[in-house]
A and B are shown apart, each in its own frame.
Chain A
Amino acid sequence: MIEIVKINLDNEMDLILAHKRTMKLCELCGLSVANQTTFATAVSEIARCAINIGDRSHLILSINTFKINKKEIVAIIYDKVNLGENPEALAYAKRLMGDMKSVKYNDYYEIRLSHIINFSGTISETKIQGFKDYFKNEPPISPYDEIRKKNIQLIDISNKLMESEKQYQMLSDTLPLMMFVINNQGEITYSNKWLTDFFPLQKVGSSGISFQSMFHTDDFKSLSIKWEKSQTERSIFRAEGRLRGREDKYVWHLITIVPSKSEKDVVANWIGFFVDIHSQKLVEAALKDNDGLKVIQEELRSNQSLLEAKLGELKISNHNLEQFAFIASHDLQEPLRKIKTFANLLEDDIKLTEPQTRYFNKIRNSADRMSSLISNILDYSRLNKQSSSFLRTDLNQIMQNILVDYELLIEEKNATIKVSNLPTLNVIPSQILQLFSNLLHNSLKFSERIPEIEISSQELSVKEASQVDGLVNGKKYIQIKFKDNGIGFSKDYSEKIFAIFQRLREIETPGTGIGLALCKKIVENHNGVIKAESVHGRGSEFNIYIPDNNPASITKE
């Protein structure tokens, strides 16, 4: 270690000298200005401490060679007083140069600071001798010159700081986020252009940041609770919220406020950022909505399968009911058949008195009535069966068959029946036969005068069909009309007569109350509508509307 220069540390002038010489030696050794300043400042800090509280303090600057050709600048402050006992004094030096200790050798406490010299190969023995000579011949120090020099340096540094701040401002203004600094009092001490552009001016200023005015009312409460927590814990605040901008426009932002800690671990400032995440939020919300949609869809699907299951159950139950009606009707016919048969056998076997004959007729008539009631129920239950198929059928043919069936009754009633030309349609023949048969039978049955019955048909255009209640729009229909001059019925009953077991006549009139219900069902099986009109005592008119385009069933061969 080669000693370059020794400085006694007695007064303020010595401090300036210590600083100046340390700077100079650093400069001679080729250290950067920043490093010169750092090292010299650290040395001066300890020197100041030594001047203030030390005894016989002095500083020796040396150059030390360690390893091969590795050199360092070494500054040792010697003092009778242990400066290390006053750590407060050394804190600043430590922050600049790292940890250092006060160690006692002989009578003096030594504090050693060192700085490595880069490219120390160029620092030869001769050069070091030159450094020594430099300090020997150095002119005495002038306080005025030194102060002036320092001033110039300070102005220079302040200019550089301003430049740097300007660059920082530019940078922060360029970044697409709002930046600000707030102090512990909540006052904004710095903000970039984005922030002032976003908020109405009066809301940002030294008057402080008001969460209530900045955020959406819905977000404010949770945010302020979180912010208070961050302040007490001195931890990073992170949240998402809607900022209220100009014209009360709300925009989603990511909010980050980071505590800025000083060297003493004290929070003096908070640095905040607002990042616009509005579009992400919208996408997020859309995705969430989509999830909602999926949930609804799922519910819908499960409801549907539930419905299908119920429908299946209903079908089975309907089928069972049909089955029951069929079997019940069938089995009920059996005892009736026997009642009639035995009644007939008995009548044949014995000679009956007048009242006995009447009673026998009563028995037979009741049995017949019961029998037709049952067979009508049977017919009705059979109508539900899907086995019936649509065939292209000439309705005139069906009508002819019915007229043959009713030949006797027609003759008996002396009825006139006019049948105009009927169409050929896709129908379930057996059902249409039953329908026409029931209607004709009703007309013959419910008459007080000589029956006059008219059966006619016409095609209805789409427009004409649209004027009939209950028909499907946009379809052509065939209208078939049964008109008679019978007893008719009151207008109030024009719907009711089609309900099952609905009887308008007193019990003496024959009829089971199923006939017209059967008719309605048959027409419905043909996708049609049946309507009844009547003037009481003047006759009735039944109109059947059947689409002209029911498809024919595919028949198996």
Chain B
Amino acid sequence: MEDTIKILLADDDEDDRFFFELALSELKRNVKLDSVVNGEKLMHYLNGAGDKLPDVLFLDINMPKKNGAECLKEIKAIDSLKDIPVIIHSTALSDLMTESLYDNGAIYYIHKKEPKKLKKCIDHILNLVANEGLSQPAKNDFILCVKE
């Protein structure tokens, strides 16, 4: 039995949070999921977490109050937070935007998709977390594609 993986999801969209939970529940892994609904709440959560930081953060980009890109920069600028692996989970973005997310230290980029497909991506990420750990791939492989 693997250790419980602590997952934090930051997304303002209720449906997307539902799809994520659905995908995750179908995986039947030992996980603990927390959700926050905007960038400000995310930063508040992280700053108050002490040593109970998440093992991986799924971060949406288009969020009110503080968007995902701003949060990413802020997280990477804080010593105690900068090692949290950040996976961008968002809709299609411009190449320029995607590139800047990679440069700012995000590990993977997952396009939002239906739960069946999303499930496979999440599984892949969690496997990496549990085993060799998450590290930035080559730029070309930043957008995560998992074969059916």
Asked whether A344 is an interface residue with its Cβ less than 8 Å from the other chain, the reply is yes
> In chain A, residues 252-309, which have Cβ atoms closer than 8 Å to a Cβ of chain B?
none
Q: Which residue of chain A lies nearest to B116 when distances are taken between CB atoms in the complex?
A: A344
Q: Which residue of chain B lies nearest to A345 when distances are taken between CB atoms in the complex?
A: B115
Task: List residues of chain A with CB within 8 A of the CB of B91.
Answer: 330, 333-334, 337
- Please, how many angstroms separate the alpha-carbon atoms of A387 and B91 in the complex? 21
Task: List residues of chain A with CB within 8 A of the CB of B96.
Answer: 387
Asked whether A315 is an interface residue with its Cβ less than 8 Å from the other chain, the reply is no
Task: List residues of chain A with CB within 8 A of the CB of B115.
Answer: 341, 345
Task: List residues of chain B with CB within 8 A of the CB of A413.
Answer: none
Q: Which residue of chain B lies nearest to A341 when distances are taken between CB atoms in the complex?
A: B114
> In chain B, residues 75-112, which have Cβ atoms closer than 8 Å to a Cβ of chain A?
91-92, 94, 96, 112
Task: List residues of chain A with CB within 8 A of the CB of B112.
Answer: 337
Are A333 and B92 closer than 8 Å at their CB atoms? yes
Give B71 Cβ to nearest chain A Cβ, in Å.
20
Out of A326, A330, A333, A344, which one reaches B114, CB within 8 Å? A344
Asked whether A338 is an interface residue with its Cβ less than 8 Å from the other chain, the reply is yes
Q: Which residue of chain B lies nearest to A338 when distances are taken between CB atoms in the complex?
A: B15
- For chain A, which range describes its interface: under 10, 10 to 19, 20 to 34, or 35 or more residues? 10 to 19
Give B10 Cβ to nearest chain A Cβ, in Å.
17
Task: List residues of chain B with CB within 8 A of the CB of A326.
Answer: 94
- Please, how many angstroms separate the alpha-carbon atoms of A337 and B91 in the complex? 10
Asked whether A475 is an interface residue with its Cβ less than 8 Å from the other chain, the reply is no
- Please, how many angstroms separate the alpha-carbon atoms of A344 and B22 in the complex? 13
- Please, how many angstroms separate the alpha-carbon atoms of A504 and B15 in the complex? 39
Task: List residues of chain B with CB within 8 A of the CB of A481.
Answer: none
Specify which of A330, A333, A341 lies most central, judged by the most chain B CB atoms within 10 Å of its CB.
A341
- Please, how many angstroms separate the alpha-carbon atoms of A340 and B92 in the complex? 16
Give A335 Cβ to nearest chain B Cβ, in Å.
10
As a 0/1 sequence over residues 327 to 353 of chain A, the CB contacts with chain B under 8 angstroms (1 = contact) are: 000100110011011001100000000
Specify which of A344, A345, A382 lies most central, judged by the most chain B CB atoms within 10 Å of its CB.
A345
> In chain A, residues 325-381, which have Cβ atoms closer than 8 Å to a Cβ of chain B?
326, 330, 333-334, 337-338, 340-341, 344-345
- Please, how many angstroms separate the alpha-carbon atoms of A136 and B114 in the complex? 159
- Please, how many angstroms separate the alpha-carbon atoms of A344 and B113 in the complex? 12
Task: List residues of chain B with CB within 8 A of the CB of A337.
Answer: 91, 112, 114
Task: List residues of chain A with CB within 8 A of the CB of B19.
Answer: 341
Q: Which residue of chain B lies nearest to A388 when distances are taken between CB atoms in the complex?
A: B95
> In chain B, residues 55-89, which have Cβ atoms closer than 8 Å to a Cβ of chain A?
none
As a 0/1 sequence over residues 19 to 54 of chain B, the CB contacts with chain A under 8 angstroms (1 = contact) are: 100100000000000000000000000000000000
- For chain B, which range describes its interface: under 10, 10 to 19, 20 to 34, or 35 or more residues? 10 to 19
Q: Which residue of chain B lies nearest to A337 when distances are taken between CB atoms in the complex?
A: B112
Give B95 Cβ to nearest chain A Cβ, in Å.
8
Out of B15, B92, B116, which one reaches A330, CB within 8 Å? B92
As a 0/1 sequence over residues 164 to 182 of chain A, the CB contacts with chain B under 8 angstroms (1 = contact) are: 0000000000000000000
- Please, how many angstroms separate the alpha-carbon atoms of A326 and B62 in the complex? 14
- Please, how many angstroms separate the alpha-carbon atoms of A344 and B116 in the complex? 10
Q: Which residue of chain A lies nearest to B22 when distances are taken between CB atoms in the complex?
A: A345
- Please, how many angstroms separate the alpha-carbon atoms of A474 and B101 in the complex? 46
Task: List residues of chain A with CB within 8 A of the CB of B116.
Answer: 344
- Please, how many angstroms separate the alpha-carbon atoms of A333 and B115 in the complex? 17
Q: Which residue of chain A lies nearest to B16 when distances are taken between CB atoms in the complex?
A: A338
As a 0/1 sequence over residues 382 to 407 of chain A, the CB contacts with chain B under 8 angstroms (1 = contact) are: 10000100000000000000000000
Task: List residues of chain B with CB within 8 A of the CB of A341.
Answer: 15, 19, 114-115
- Please, how many angstroms separate the alpha-carbon atoms of A330 and B112 in the complex? 13
Task: List residues of chain B with CB within 8 A of the CB of A340.
Answer: 114
Give A365 Cβ to nearest chain B Cβ, in Å.
16
Give B21 Cβ to nearest chain A Cβ, in Å.
13
Task: List residues of chain B with CB within 8 A of the CB of A344.
Answer: 114, 116
Task: List residues of chain A with CB within 8 A of the CB of B22.
Answer: 345
- Please, how many angstroms separate the alpha-carbon atoms of A330 and B97 in the complex? 14
- Please, how many angstroms separate the alpha-carbon atoms of A330 and B93 in the complex? 8
Give B108 Cβ to nearest chain A Cβ, in Å.
20
Task: List residues of chain A with CB within 8 A of the CB of B92.
Answer: 330, 333
Give B32 Cβ to nearest chain A Cβ, in Å.
24
> In chain B, residues 90-148, which have Cβ atoms closer than 8 Å to a Cβ of chain A?
91-92, 94, 96, 112, 114-116
Q: Which residue of chain B lies nearest to A344 when distances are taken between CB atoms in the complex?
A: B114
Q: Which residue of chain A lies nearest to B96 when distances are taken between CB atoms in the complex?
A: A387
Task: List residues of chain B with CB within 8 A of the CB of A338.
Answer: 15
- Please, how many angstroms separate the alpha-carbon atoms of A462 and B87 in the complex? 54
- Please, how many angstroms separate the alpha-carbon atoms of A345 and B94 in the complex? 29
- Please, how many angstroms separate the alpha-carbon atoms of A27 and B145 in the complex? 140
- Please, how many angstroms separate the alpha-carbon atoms of A330 and B91 in the complex? 8
> In chain A, residues 179-209, which have Cβ atoms closer than 8 Å to a Cβ of chain B?
none
- Please, how many angstroms separate the alpha-carbon atoms of A338 and B18 in the complex? 11
Task: List residues of chain B with CB within 8 A of the CB of A334.
Answer: 91
Task: List residues of chain B with CB within 8 A of the CB of A382.
Answer: 94
- Please, how many angstroms separate the alpha-carbon atoms of A337 and B94 in the complex? 18
- Please, how many angstroms separate the alpha-carbon atoms of A338 and B15 in the complex? 8
Give B99 Cβ to nearest chain A Cβ, in Å.
11
Give A360 Cβ to nearest chain B Cβ, in Å.
14
As a 0/1 sequence over residues 419 to 435 of chain A, the CB contacts with chain B under 8 angstroms (1 = contact) are: 00000000000000000
Give A164 Cβ to nearest chain B Cβ, in Å.
102
- Please, how many angstroms separate the alpha-carbon atoms of A87 and B65 in the complex? 117
Task: List residues of chain B with CB within 8 A of the CB of A333.
Answer: 91-92
Give B117 Cβ to nearest chain A Cβ, in Å.
10
- Please, how many angstroms separate the alpha-carbon atoms of A434 and B121 in the complex? 27
- Please, how many angstroms separate the alpha-carbon atoms of A333 and B37 in the complex? 21
Give B143 Cβ to nearest chain A Cβ, in Å.
15
- Please, how many angstroms separate the alpha-carbon atoms of A334 and B94 in the complex? 16
Give B4 Cβ to nearest chain A Cβ, in Å.
27
A-B contact sample (4 more), CB < 8 A, given A337-B91, A345-B114, A387-B96: A337-B112, A338-B15, A341-B15, A344-B116
Binding site for B on A (CB under 8 A): 326, 330, 333-334, 337-338, 340-341, 344-345, 382, 387
Q: Could you name 21 residue pairs across A and B whose Cβ atoms are closer than 8 Å?
A: A326-B94, A330-B91, A330-B92, A333-B91, A333-B92, A334-B91, A337-B91, A337-B112, A337-B114, A338-B15, A341-B15, A341-B19, A341-B114, A341-B115, A344-B114, A344-B116, A345-B22, A345-B114, A345-B115, A382-B94, A387-B96
State the 3 A-B residue pairs at the shortest beta-carbon distance, nearest first: A341-B114, A338-B15, A344-B114
